[in-house]
């Protein structure tokens, strides 16, 4: 005979304790069932793990560009996707631990910036899709099989950071043509340091220059490197591309001003913050493209079907105010080449 809720209610009203308990139990069980059904109907919001060897202070506008890229693929941070950030602050030995946290989370996609981070992520997982932004040739590093068909679970954006060291040296030499020797600051803990040095040595030889090689992997080492360059009266310096140096931007710019050293940097935010000159890719655009790729992967595209993007937007930024403070005359030719001149 079908269950009659009216009869149960009547029985409960008559004071029948058995039927009252049965009715309460029925209501409680129904509430649990409805709650489970409601939860099952709620869509699961995917989580993106964002891992970088640098610091968030260095990424304010760049992160906004990354989120714009996600939005192009119809993912809005905090609404249809959650982003969990992990930062290395230039401590490359901490990256395996940080990526392990994200893998255990687990995340739907890993977005990684800078060479040490990409290598740590690739070693940590072969199942979670990885989107990288990397400065060294990813094929040469063994990160991908080819640009067109990256293979396995990884793809991303190649920003040619290491390949641009020679171009930076040439621009700095044009700015300081009297220089016979130029210092270069390198981080020995960066995997691509030797490639950077090799390219700089070849470019210096072609220009008839000598290199004064300085190394630093901690804040005190940066102080010592600038002091050594000043003591040797080296007329100019290149700060090689490196995430750790980016985390120490304020320190580096202050030292360059204190020791009156004309210096060349990787990204425009050095020049806009008071550095003399920068030449490199448009980093914000590179991370926007990474956001687009992360969104496409969330929508079902396999990493192997997304060719590695090679950055094509470069920018030369010159800070004339800093040049004047350093007593440096910027040639008309350099000014004509500049994408941005800070008065």
Tens of each residue's pLDDT in the chain, 343 residues: 443 444 443 444 444 444 545 544 544 554 444 444 434 444 589 999 999 999 998 887 899 999 999 999 999 999 999 999 999 999 999 999 999 999 999 899 999 998 999 999 999 999 999 999 999 999 999 999 999 999 889 999 999 988 899 999 999 999 999 999 999 999 999 988 999 999 999 999 999 999 999 999 999 999 999 999 999 999 999 999 999 999 999 999 999 999 999 999 999 999 999 999 999 999 999 999 999 999 999 999 999 999 999 998 899 999 999 999 999 999 999 999 999 999 8
Q: What is the pTM of this model?
A: 0.83
List the 237-239 sheet strands across, edge first: 210-215, 181-186, 237-239, 263-265, 277-281, 314-319, 340-342
d(C-alpha 47, C-alpha 298), whole Å: 10
d(C-alpha 153, C-alpha 159), whole Å: 20
CB neighbourhood size of 174 (10 A): 14
Helix (H) or strand (E) holding 249: helix 249-258
Q: Which two tokens stand for residue 269?
A: 């935010």
d(C-alpha 317, C-alpha 310), whole Å: 21
d(C-alpha 113, C-alpha 46), whole Å: 20
List the 154-158 sheet strands across, edge first: 82-87, 47-52, 109-113, 130-134, 154-158, 309-310
d(C-alpha 78, C-alpha 83), whole Å: 8
CB distance 241 to 266 below 8 Å: yes
Beta strand pairing call for 314-319 and 277-281: antiparallel
CB neighbourhood size of 5 (10 A): 11
């Amino acid at each position: 005979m079908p269950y009659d809720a009216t009869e149960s209610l009547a029985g409960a009203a008559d004071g029948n304790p058995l039927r009252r308990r049965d009715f309460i139990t029925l209501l409680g069980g129904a509430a649990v069932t409805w709650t489970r059904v409601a939860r099952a109907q709620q869509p699961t919001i995917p989580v993106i793990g964002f891992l970088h060897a640098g610091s968030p202070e260095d990424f304010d506008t760049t992160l906004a560009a990354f989120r714009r890229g996600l939005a192009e693929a119809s993912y809005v941070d905090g609404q249809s996707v959650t982003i969990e950030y992990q930062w290395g602050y230039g401590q490359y030995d901490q990256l395996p631990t940080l990526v392990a946290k994200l893998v255990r989370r687990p995340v739907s996609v890993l977005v990684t910036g800078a060479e040490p981070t990409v290598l740590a992520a690739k070693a940590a997982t072969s199942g979670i899709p990885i989107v990288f932004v990397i400065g060294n040739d990813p094929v040469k590093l063994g990160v991908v099989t080819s640009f067109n068909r990256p293979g396995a679970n990884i793809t991303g954006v190649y920003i040619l950071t290491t390949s641009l060291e020679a171009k930076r040296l040439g621009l700095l030499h044009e700015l300081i043509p009297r220089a016979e020797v130029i210092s270069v600051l390198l981080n020995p803990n960066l995997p691509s340091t030797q490639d950077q040095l090799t390219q700089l040595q070849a470019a210096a030889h072609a220009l008839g220059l000598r290199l004064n090689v300085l190394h630093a992997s901690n804040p005190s080492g940066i102080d010592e490197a600038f002091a050594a360059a000043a003591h040797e009266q080296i007329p100019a310096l290149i700060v090689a591309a490196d995430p750790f140096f980016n985390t120490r931007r304020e320190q580096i710019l202050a030292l360059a001003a204190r020791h009156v050293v004309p210096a060349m940097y990787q990204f425009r935010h050095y020049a806009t913050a008071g550095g003399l000159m920068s030449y490199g890719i448009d980093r914000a655009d590179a991370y926007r493209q990474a956001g687009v790729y992360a969104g496409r992967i969330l929508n079902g595209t396999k990493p192997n079907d997304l060719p590695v993007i090679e950055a094509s937007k470069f920018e030369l930024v010159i800070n004339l105010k800093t040049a004047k403070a350093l007593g440096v005359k910027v040639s008309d030719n350099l000014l004509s080449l500049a994408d941005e001149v800070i008065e």
